[in-house]
């Protein structure tokens, strides 16, 4: 995606690797939309912390970051003993895998890398790690491009689209999943409008999706999370497109940012098509029930306080809740397949219940 910053436009990926310094380079997403800044993580522990602290967030983006983190961890190993290297890389894997437990992309990315790092020497495996991390990032871009190409037909002139959280370029390496059809529709000069749920408590819709759409010149409004039902009732929303952090290939259940399930229920009530967009790395072929998905509970401070920027440009945290109250902060929910019109993948649009029967086409590997 091209970012206009300080009057200049330049193409950026959300994450890339600096081989010369063995550092992962990231867009600091917590500062957007008020400040555009690139940061570096100097080792795999810092990379894991950046994922945990949401310097980088979004399924594909943290998948690529974890992949680069695994390669980063591989490079620091000293010695030539394969068994010792394998123990070291297993520790690196565990550290990165635990950073954000709900999303499956980091797990899928690193497991795929580990199965293919089969060189006879440590030096060869280090080289393979770098190549495989780059391959995952490139595949993520290609998947999102295909999602955009396939999903673009759902958006017509005059379509009013609702999206939730940020499943855009910032959530992937490039293009995004939920936003990719919008970017392709814009490229074809279609005139449409997007409603961005603010997505409390971290406001990724208001801060990130809206910023992306503004960068692309796409017509949009930010709405509070609870306004979507009202707009649906008044006939002002025609289509819902969201992303996913983990979709179960066996059941078609979709895990996404908290509030997605609510939007799906409302869309079903008002006969509005509800689509989920996913690259192949977001599919979990193992779990058999959405109840088994680990739902991340983040700090109550995210609910009790809010970050913003003053009129003078100073970033500031303020209390927004009763000081003596506690809060619950589940970050994700699970949407059942009967509420989903279709799942847009890089290889086509499927009914949620068709994923398992199309598992070979969708990249299922019996070794997973």
Q: Which residues are catalytic?
A: 245
3-state secondary structure 322-354: CCCCCCCCECEEEECHHHCCEEEECCEEECHHH
CB contact at 8 A, 346 and 280? yes
- Count CB neighbours of 334 within 10 A: 21
Residues facing residue 24 across a β-bridge: 17, 41
Q: Omega of the bond prior to 66 within 30 degrees of 0, cis?
A: no
Answer for the pair 257, 220: CB distance below 8 angstroms, yes or no.
no
User: Do 112 and 104 meet the contact criterion of CB atoms below 8 Å apart?
Assistant: no
Q: How many CA atoms lie within 13 A of 56 on its CB side?
A: 34
Q: Quick check: helix, strand or coil at residue 2? A: strand
Q: Which residues contact 129 (CB under 8 A, 6 or more apart)?
A: 70, 71, 74, 75, 113, 117
């Amino acid at each position: 995606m091209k970012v206009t910053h300080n009057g200049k436009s330049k193409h950026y990926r959300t994450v890339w690797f600096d081989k010369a310094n063995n550092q992962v380079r990231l867009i600091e997403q917590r500062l957007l939309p008020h400040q555009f800044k690139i940061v570096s993580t100097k080792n795999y522990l810092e990379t894991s912390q950046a994922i945990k602290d949401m310097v980088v967030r979004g399924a594909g983006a943290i998948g690529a970051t974890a992949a680069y983190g695994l390669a980063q961890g591989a490079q620091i190993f000293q010695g030539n003993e394969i068994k010792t290297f394998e123990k070291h890389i297993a520790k690196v894997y565990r550290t990165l895998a635990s950073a954000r437990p709900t999303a499956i992309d980091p797990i899928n990315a690193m497991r795929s890398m580990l199965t293919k790092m089969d060189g006879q020497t440590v030096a060869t495996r280090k080289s393979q790690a770098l190549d495989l991390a780059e391959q995952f990032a490139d595949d993520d871009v290609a998947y999102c491009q295909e999602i955009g190409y396939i999903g673009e037909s759902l958006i017509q002139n005059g379509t009013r689209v609702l999206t939730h959280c940020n499943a855009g370029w910032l959530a992937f390496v490039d293009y995004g999943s939920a936003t990719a059809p919008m970017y392709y529709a814009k490229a074809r000069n279609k005139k449409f409008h997007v409603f961005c749920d603010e997505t409390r408590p971290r406001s990724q819709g208001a801060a990130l999706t809206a910023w992306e759409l503004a960068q692309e010149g796409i017509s949009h409004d930010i709405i509070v999370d609870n306004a979507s039902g009202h707009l649906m009732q008044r006939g002002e929303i025609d289509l819902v497109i969201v992303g996913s952090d983990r979709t179960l290939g066996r059941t078609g259940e979709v895990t996404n940012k908290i509030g997605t399930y609510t939007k799906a229920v409302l869309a079903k009530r008002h006969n509005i098509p509800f689509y989920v967009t996913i690259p192949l790395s977001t599919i979990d072929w193992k779990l058999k029930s959405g109840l088994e998905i680990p739902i991340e509970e983040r700090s109550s401070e995210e609910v009790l306080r809010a970050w913003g920027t003053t009129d003078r440009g100073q970033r500031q945290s303020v209390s927004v809740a009763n000081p003596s109250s506690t809060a619950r902060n589940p970050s994700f929910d699970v949407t059942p397949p009967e509420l989903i019109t279709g799942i847009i993948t890089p290889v086509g649009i499927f009914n949620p219940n068709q994923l398992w029967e199309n598992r070979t086409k969708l990249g299922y590997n019996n070794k997973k």
